[in-house]
Amino acid sequence: MPPCYRGGATSETVSGSAAARVGRTSLRKVHTAESILEIAHLRNVLEGAGIACFVRNERLAGGLGEIPFVECWPELWVVRNGDALQARGLIDAARSAEPYSGPDWQCERCGEWVGGQFDACWRCAPTDSET
């Protein structure tokens, strides 16, 4: 799995051994979002595709109010400038993906209709002792 760096926006501010690995590579910001959950998910998507990346402003939400809110948003950066285009394509695909929702189904046990996104009946779901 490729390394994921957490630190500043330039190779000079990435701390410790990560700085040695990054060297003077051009870093590129590929996404920013209000939610750290979205950024963490997209980081996992990029790492899964073999793109080395890091998150900047991961813990800056505490400065909100003292710092303009947009400046506090977490940012996702790729280590190699050449990976930016592929990373943006993966990010766009991940953000536009529709959540899976199969057809609605009827529970064989109680007859209740259940939405396709669920795999257990909400009405008579088996207890731990029945599974």
Write out pLDDT tens, residues 36-74.
999 999 999 999 999 999 998 887 766 667 777 777 789
Fold of 4-96: Alpha-Beta Plaits (3.30.70)
What pLDDT is stored for residue 125 in this prediction? Answer: 76
Is the Cβ–Cβ distance between 70 and 17 less than 8 Å? no
Sign of the torsion angle spanned by Cα atoms 38, 44, 50, 51: positive
What's this model's pTM, rounded to 2 decimal places?
0.58
User: In whole angstroms, how far apart are CA 45 and each of 38, 42, 88, 125?
Assistant: 11, 5, 11, 32
The yes-or-no verdict on residue 1 having pLDDT over 60 is no
What are 86-120's pLDDT values in tens digits?
A: 999 999 999 997 777 789 999 998 999 988 888 88
* Bridge partners, residue 6, by sequence: 55
Q: What does the pLDDT read at residue 47?
A: 95
